[in-house]
Amino acid sequence: MATVPFRNFIAGEWVAGATATVNRNPSDLGDVIGEYAQADAAQARAGIAAAKQAFAAWAGGNIQERANILDRAGTEILARKDELGRLLSREEGKTLPEGVGEARPVADNATPEGRANNRRVEIIVQPVEKR
């Protein structure tokens, strides 16, 4: 079976790293999950700059649009929790129930229903007084 290469996502592009590292299932060292790109210093700086620029656009966006994006992401995570759980089990050497169980808290922080039931995250919208 061929090793799957995974690249870094920098400024909207998938970029090969300066080097790569093979990731193996810790429960089965013969199971190669993939080969993951490792950025050099210049690529890391480019990634940080791109993230800062993307964050500025995200932060300046409409709050409802951002909430909708997070809701869609959380819904997708829940829809694919079994698939994601299998991947997490392979990558981290966890049992399948532990891997599947990791999807729930991630989705809970993204969906309105999850946030309503999750006491760790509370969003309060208050008007700002103009001076």
Residues listed for the chain: 131
* Domain end position, chosen among 43, 60, 77: 60
User: Residue 12: left if φ>0, alpha if ψ -120 to 50, beta else—which one?
Assistant: left
74 residue type, one letter:
G
Which tokens go with 2?
A: 């061929």
pLDDT score, position 51: 95
Instruction: In whole angstroms, give the CA distance from residue 6 to residue 21.
Output: 10
The reply to whether 37 and 50 lie within a common domain is yes
Q: Which residues, in sequence order, are CB contacts of 82 under 8 Å at separation 6+?
A: 100
pLDDT tens for each residue of the chain, 131 residues long: 567 899 999 999 999 999 999 999 998 999 999 999 999 999 999 999 999 999 999 999 898 898 889 889 888 988 999 999 999 898 888 888 998 888 878 777 777 766 666 555 555 666 666 66
* Torsion sign (Cα): 89, 37, 106, 77: negative
Total domains, the chain: 2
The reply to whether 35 and 3 lie within a common domain is yes
pLDDT score, position 20: 95
pLDDT score, position 24: 93
How many alpha carbons lie under 13 Å from residue 74 in its C-beta half-sphere?
18
Which residue range forms the structural domain that includes residue 101? 62-131
* Torsion sign (Cα): 114, 99, 92, 25: negative
* Domain end position, chosen among 11, 34, 60: 60
